Amino acid sequence: MTLISRSRRKDRIVLTVAGAVLLLVVPVAALAGVRFTYTLRTVTAGGLFLGAISGSIGSFAVLRKQSLLGDALSHAALPGVGIAFLIAGRQLGALLVGAAAVSLMGVWFISLVTRMTRIKQDTAMGIVLTGWFAVGIGILTFIQQRPDASQSGLDSFIFGQAAAIVRQDVQLLAVVSVVMVVILILNWKEFKLVTFDPEFAKANGYRIGVFTALILGLVVTAVVMGLQLAGVVLMVGMLIGPGIAARQWTDRLEHMVLLAGIIGAIAGSTGAIVSSLDTDLPTGPMIILVNSAVVAISLLFAPGRGVVQDLLRRRDDRKRFAGGGQG
């Protein structure tokens, strides 16, 4: 009984604190003298949505031990952005579809190489990731040499540039985010079961291929939507950082996903605000800095799983039991 209420209470406190921090991001920035112009409001909203979505969906990538897959996905998306721009121009929807398609092609190619050759999966990921990325850089360079490229803003896809986000983008991102959350809620049981014990799920008649593909689809969508903000190079941090941090604070999947969403939103909005103070400051690194700080704090200080508490406990044990030996 005490154990039940204690773990629940801890989760509630953690979620409340995280939620409060999120609510304080904008007021604190305003107090510090940041002027929330129309542009900045748009950019902040974009960062908040993208951070929340990639954080919560990314939790599943973390639990499925597919962090490196997230990295491969984001790097492999770059040529898709370039190709889509050449075909459709700077339409966010088209760019995202192109990014997703080419990125999935990269993942398919990784699995093909793993199956057909003697190369192991991590090696295949490394080679495909860099190969696709290099092609992407090539295409982007080609685009930038064209006369109409000056306002394309495509280079923002490499390190992320929140300032490139406009109001229509935010609307699109909001709609897609809502759809993703609905999919997540509807398939919650199945996602949990397939992630925890795919073999048991399969034996129970679940078509795990369908749910695995659905989860991969959500991860891909989160990745390509976040590209504009975090960039292909750092996107994986936005995807997995919040999940890693959240796992430290709670032992329940639903709380972990919720908390990862909140952490992602804090990092996304803070990064967007800070980088907007100076147009030369790319957003991706700012977001990842906030994210990494939260991850570091969580790994060190989270009760029960943190390094500091582990060390203290070990010292206590040594004192207690070593002392007993001498006496």
Partner 1 sequence: MTSRVLDLDRTGGSTGADHSARTGHSENLTFEPSLAINDLTVAYDGKPAIWDLDLNVPPGVLMGIVGPNGAGKTTLIKAALNLIPRAAGSILFFGRTYDRVRQRVGYVPQRGSVDWDFPTTVLDVVTMGLYGRVGWIRRTGAHERRLAMEALEQVGMTEFSDRQISQLSGGQQQRTFLARALVQDADIYFMDEPFAAVDAVTERAIIGILHQLRSRGKTVIVVHHDLQTVSDYFDWVTLLNVTVVAAGPVDSTFTTDLIERTYGGRVAALTPRDEREN
Residues in contact with partner 1 by the rule CB under 8 A: 3-4, 7, 63, 65, 186-190, 192-193, 195-197, 199-200, 202-206, 247, 250-253, 255-256
- Alpha helix locations (H) across 117-197? 121-144, 156-159, 167-186, 188-196
- Alpha helix locations (H) across the chain? 2-31, 38-63, 67-76, 78-88, 92-116, 121-144, 156-159, 167-186, 188-196, 198-203, 208-249, 253-276, 283-301, 307-326
Residue 177 beta carbon to partner 1: minimum distance, rounded to whole angstroms: 20
Query: Which residues have C-beta within 8 Å of that of residue 245, sequence separation ≥ 6?
Result: 259, 260, 263, 291, 294, 295, 297, 298, 299
Nearest to partner 1 of 183, 289 (CB atom): 183
Nearest to partner 1 of 60, 157 (CB atom): 60
CA-CA-CA-CA torsion sign (106, 108, 109, 110): positive
Nearest to partner 1 of 126, 217 (CB atom): 217
Residue 162 beta carbon to partner 1: minimum distance, rounded to whole angstroms: 31
| Residue that is written with structure tokens 């700077």 in the block | 90
Residue 242 beta carbon to partner 1: minimum distance, rounded to whole angstroms: 14
By three-state DSSP, how is residue 281 classified? coil
| Burial 80-98, CB ≥16 within 10 A → b, else e | bbbbbbeeeebbbebbbeb
Residue 214 beta carbon to partner 1: minimum distance, rounded to whole angstroms: 12
Nearest to partner 1 of 35, 189 (CB atom): 189
Rounded to whole angstroms, the Cα distance separating 62 from 134 reads 26
Rounded to whole angstroms, the Cα distance separating 299 from 297 reads 6
| Residue that is written with structure tokens 């997995």 in the block | 240
Nearest to partner 1 of 156, 250 (CB atom): 250
| Residue that is written with structure tokens 């004192």 in the block | 319
Residue 255 beta carbon to partner 1: minimum distance, rounded to whole angstroms: 8
Residue 201 beta carbon to partner 1: minimum distance, rounded to whole angstroms: 8
Nearest to partner 1 of 199, 280 (CB atom): 199
8 A C-beta contact, residue 11 and residue 19: no
Residue 190 beta carbon to partner 1: minimum distance, rounded to whole angstroms: 7
Nearest to partner 1 of 75, 255 (CB atom): 255
Nearest to partner 1 of 89, 254 (CB atom): 254
Residue 198 beta carbon to partner 1: minimum distance, rounded to whole angstroms: 9
